[in-house]
Structure 1
Amino acid sequence: MQNGEYTELKAFCAVAEAGRFSTAAKRLQISASALSQIIRRLEDRLDVRLFNRTTRSVALTEDGERFFQQIRPALGSLEAAFHELKAQSGTLSGIVRIHATHMAADTILTPFIGQFHQHYPDIVLDVVAEDSIIDITAAGFDCGIALGEFVQQDMIAYPLGPELRMTAAASPDYLAKHGTPQTPADLQHHQCLNWRHMAEKSIYRWEFFQDDHWISVAVNGPLITTRRELALTAALQHIGIVFWTEDKLQPWLDSGELVPLLQDFCPPFLGWHLYYPRHRHSSSALRALIEALRQFYPRPSSLSESR
């Protein structure tokens, strides 16, 4: 196989997996126009149309689907062999593309990246942090970090920490002035510090477990923010009630600066998970990241690997 043929086949598989030229181009680190030319060159050489193109989408033709199913395993084996050879030479390199929420990036990756870089200085972590739920395979990511409930189906998932728990909290001064809510419905009569979901432009509805099922409550108050840290600061300044995970509020709960509220309505839920596709072949760089995260965040005894 000539180098140009390998480039064409790799480009073809990237477009077939992503379903978009723009997404595949980002994954291959080339321009969309260059990628389109490569695919046209392959189609001309094979004298077969591989994709049906519209202004919004790209879909495999019947011939393209059959060709994709035939070459994908072979190409995966070839790339795996390349990565293994590099690994055996003593140098692991490559790019690992990670999709994570902002909080996951702060909580999970920030304490981890220094140690990982010391062990694997030639591996580049390309991290996109955004508060949205996406198909990481279609978007060209190698893995993702999200709360367990948002992990895509048919993924390998590994817990990176214990279960989490949401907690409503306010300062003693606020509660002395406004009273203490006893049920989620009582929040309608309080000043609540709202968090806006940046990706969807929507305001998060506070979630509680009541009468054997989950409910969501739309609350009002003097602050709406995309930064939960700002809501925490406002609560410490006696402005209203904050709603965040218990681990984030714990220092102020321990000091007494904040008082936990509605705890009977806030059961634990699945925490942060690393997840990645069940690819038969994955890069040595991705495997190194997975193993490093497993060692840095040993699985809690109460949790097991899922899916």
Structure 2
Amino acid sequence: MVKRNLNDLQYFVTVAREGSFTRAASLLGVTQSALSQAISGLETRLDIRLLTRTTRSVSPTAAGERLLNAIGHRFDEIHAELDELTEMRDKPAGTVRITCGEHVLRTTLLPKLTPLLLEFPEIKVEFDINYGFRDIVADRFDAGVRLGDTIDKDMIAVALGPQLRMAAAASPAYFAKNPKPKNPRNLVKHNCINMRMQTAGGIYVWDFERRSQKLNVRVDGQLIFNTSPSMVDAAVASLGIAFLPEEEFAPHLENGRLVRVLEDWCAPFPGYYLYYPSRKQPSHAFSLVLDALRWTAPSITKKR
């Protein structure tokens, strides 16, 4: 029986998944030259091409796709088992990968996880800043963070905070030159700061609700962004009206750099949730991260 070099197979799986020799070499801790030689040697031994290489990308051939589907998950299982063995030591350890937006990372995730990371230095957390709808299973994330009404039904979802409300806001200087909108329909006459959705590629439609009356407004303006911090900066710079969860405007609303409008048209909606596959068996490290992030609603004391 011919012995196979499992390192070469692991190298192939990593390159095929990353679509890049550069990223794969960085993850594996080897040089690009050594990685390329290992893949070429594997293809020579199998007498079939596994990867299609261009100057800009790397992708598996039909044979490579078949091999990846056959063995990729087995390496995942090996790594998961090794992680489990690692966690049998006295202290929890391992890496937890989370995809999320920049704002919730800065205001919620990192502050809540700081005490945990200081207490358990062998727990590592990798954050992927992304505003699109990542497939956390296919992309091998342990969890993701989204607004509660956008999470797939087959996921376990854990609340990270209370309900949120949207806010439409612009600077006092902007409203000094433009009348404040009385209702959402007036927004079509304003210079609005838009967001392009990363997943679908379309422009976000501003939705409002008041006393069960719902309005969807397609606004226009000079600026389009795909991240919210830039939208806040543009609103502060008097470049138009922005529409985001109110917490993203909070410091600027408090100090008067931004003025809120149409507040009675902004109904509460489910806030941020951490979600993960229902079939996933949480590791010890992930369970500790989950407990640290979980939001507990404040108890209401009844007046006597």
TM-score where L is the length of structure 1:
0.67
In the alignment, the residues of structure 1 paired with residue 73 and residue 171 of structure 2 have an alpha-carbon distance, to the nearest angstrom, of 59
Q: Is the 2:194–2:221 Cα contact (8 Å) retained in structure 1?
A: no
Q: Does 1:181 find its partner at 2:185?
A: no
- Residue in 1 that maps onto 2:115: 115
Distance 1:293 1:60 in 2: 39
CA offset digits 1:13-69 (Å, max 9, x no partner) = 334444554554444344444333333333444x2536241423412534752x445
**What is aligned with 2:62?**
61
Asked if the contact 2:147–2:273 (Cα under 8 Å) also holds between the matched residues in 1, the reply is yes
Q: Is the contact between residue 116 and residue 292 of structure 2 (CA under 8 Å) also seen in structure 1?
A: no
**CA spacing shift, 1:27–1:268, aligned 2, 3 Å:** farther
Any conservation in 2 of the 1:205–1:219 contact (CA below 8 Å)? no
2:129 is matched with 129
Judging changes above 3 Å, is the alpha-carbon distance between structure 1 residues 48 and 162 closer, same or farther for their aligned structure 2 residues? Answer: farther
Whether the 8 Å CA contact 2:146–2:273 is kept in 1: the answer is yes
**Which letter maps to 1:58?**
S
SS in 1 for 2:125: strand
Deviation at 1:96, TM superposition (A): 3.7
Name the counterpart of 1:230: 233
1:1-307 equivalence runs, <5 A: 5-45=5-45, 47-49=46-48, 51-55=50-54, 56-62=57-63, 65=66, 67-135=67-135, 141-148=141-148, 157-169=157-169, 178-190=178-190, 194=193, 207-209=206-208, 212=214, 214-219=216-221, 227-231=230-234, 233-234=236-237, 241-249=241-249, 260-276=260-276, 284=283, 288-298=285-295
Secondary structure of 2:5 counterpart: helix
Q: Rate the CA distance shift 1:212–1:57 in 2: closer, same or farther, 3 A.
A: farther
Code of the residue aligned with 2:59 in structure 1: it is V
CA shift digits 1:265-292 (9 cap, x unpaired): 333344323344677677x4xx514542
Question: How many Å separate the matches in 1 of 2:65 and 2:30?
Answer: 22
Give the superposition deviation at 1:173: 8.9
Assess if the C-alpha contact under 8 Å between 2:208 and 2:267 holds in 1: yes
SS in 2 for 1:78: helix
**Whole-angstrom CA distance in 2 between matches of 1:177 and 1:68:** 60
Per-residue CA shift, 1:79-104, capped at 9, x if unaligned?
23321221112244444444332212
Is the contact between residue 157 and residue 275 of structure 1 (CA under 8 Å) also seen in structure 2? Answer: yes
* 1:179, distance to aligned residue in structure 2 (A): 4.2
Letter in 2 for 1:75: F
RMSD, aligned α-carbons: 4.4
Tell me which moved more, 21-30 or 77-86: 21-30
Instruction: Report which stretch shifted further, 133-142 or 27-36.
Output: 133-142
182 and 31 in structure 1: CA distance in 2 versus 1, 3 angstrom threshold: farther
CA contact (8 A) 2:181 2:261 kept: yes
Distance 1:179 1:204 in 2: 24
Q: Which runs of 5+ in 1 are unaligned?
A: 302-307
User: What percent of counterpart residues are identical?
Assistant: 32
SS of 1:112's partner is: helix
In structure 1, the partner of 2:302 is none
Alpha-carbon distance between aligned partners in 1 of 2:12 and 2:77, rounded to the nearest angstrom: 16
Alpha-carbon distance in 1 for matches of 2:137, 2:246:
32
Which segments of 5 or more consecutive residues in structure 2 lack a partner in the other structure? Answer: 299-304
Q: CA deviation at 1:207?
A: 0.9
Query: How far, CA to CA, are the matches of 2:90 and 2:113 in structure 1?
Result: 21
Check whether the contact 1:195–1:226 (CA below 8 A) recurs between aligned residues.
Answer: no
Specify the alignment match of 1:305 in structure 2.
none
Q: How many residues align?
A: 285
